[in-house]
């Protein structure tokens, strides 16, 4: 049977979806529910559902990032969004990320049933060789697909934006991965696929580009510049700067006078 997870911060919605839809009619079963986005993502990772019904306006969670996280790591998972907000641009973005249906609360039963039918039909096409769930697919079969879709691109762009905004801090891969709601392993894989660089190389590139701008100010010492762009070790900054530019920071400063 296809496994279903429901994510919504309104218990009445979770209860209503669980009871009102005749899941067994569609060869489906509810395997879990969550009441906020973070718990929902943890549940998705634990249960690896075939179908997710979820709100996208929940506390402490960017809905589009949640969708992107699910669809990037589990591209075959069918997602239907339920929301109390009728926002065309938001709906268009969600559908672009791979959402099957975008329904506005309160949804009619025929809309809910049509969404389930559509998702099950898509899953039947994916598993028409007889497999009944994602777990029955050998690990690694979907690796290329998982890192080559709109959701993955969305996550990478969000990660890069976060790095641009926080490069002065003691930034770690884990920090950025938590911000975009994916595992460190998955984010590292995405960065290597889309940028052809590791996390540390991308971060160093950002920092060195910022350092080159700051070096135009003769009032700033090189040590000050290194610290301002997030390097705690002057020797490390010097090595990275030379490797990135082919010059020492002092040599670079002399060429722009």
CATH number at residue 209: 1.10.10.60
What is the pTM (predicted TM-score) of this model? 0.82
Same domain, residue pair 44 and 129: yes
Residue 256 has pLDDT above 60, yes or no: yes
Same domain, residue pair 32 and 127: yes
Same domain, residue pair 165 and 120: no
Task: Give me the domain span that covers residue 90.
Answer: 2-140
- Domain assignment present for 145: no
The pLDDT > 90 percentage for the chain reads 61
Same domain, residue pair 190 and 208: yes
- Domain assignment present for 106: yes
With a CB cutoff of 8 Å and minimum separation 6, the contacts of 60 are 36, 37, 38
Strands 57-58 and 61-62: antiparallel
Mean pLDDT of 106-119: 92
Q: How many domains does the chain have?
A: 2
Q: What is the Cα gyration radius of the chain?
A: 23
Residue 254 has pLDDT above 50, yes or no: yes
Same domain, residue pair 59 and 84: yes
Mean pLDDT of 45-58: 90
List Cα–Cα distances, 205 to 152, 171, 200, 223, 226, in angstroms. 22, 14, 9, 18, 13
- Domain assignment present for 100: yes
pLDDT at 79: 94
Per the CB < 8 A criterion, the answer to whether 158 and 179 are in contact is yes
Same domain, residue pair 101 and 175: no
């Amino acid at each position: 049977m296809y496994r279903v997870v429901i994510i919504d911060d309104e218990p009445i919605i979770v209860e209503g979806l669980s009871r009102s839809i005749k899941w067994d009619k569609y060869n489906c079963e509810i395997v879990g529910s969550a009441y906020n986005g973070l718990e929902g993502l943890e549940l998705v990772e634990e249960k690896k559902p075939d179908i997710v019904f979820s709100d996208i306006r929940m506390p402490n969670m960017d809905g589009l990032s949640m969708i992107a996280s699910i669809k990037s790591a589990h591209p075959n998972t069918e997602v239907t969004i339920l929301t109390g907000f009728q926002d065309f641009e938001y709906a268009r973005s969600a559908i672009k990320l791979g959402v099957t249906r975008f329904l506005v609360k309160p949804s009619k039963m025929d809309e809910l049933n049509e969404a389930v039918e559509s998702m099950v039909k898509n899953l039947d096409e994916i598993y028409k060789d007889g497999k009944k769930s994602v777990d029955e697919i050998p690990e690694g079969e979907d690796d290329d697909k998982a890192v080559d879709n709109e959701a993955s691109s969305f996550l990478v762009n969000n990660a890069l934006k976060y790095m641009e905004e926080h490069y002065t801090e003691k930034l770690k891969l884990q920090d950025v991965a938590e911000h975009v709601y994916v595992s460190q392993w998955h984010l590292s894989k995405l960065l290597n696929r889309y940028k052809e660089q590791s996390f540390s190389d991308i971060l160093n590139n950002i920092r060195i580009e910022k350092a080159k701008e700051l070096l135009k100010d003769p009032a700033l010492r090189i040590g000050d510049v290194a610290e301002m762009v997030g390097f705690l070790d002057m020797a490390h900054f010097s090595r990275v700067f030379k490797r990135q530019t082919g010059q020492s920071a002092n040599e670079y400063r002399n060429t722009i006078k």
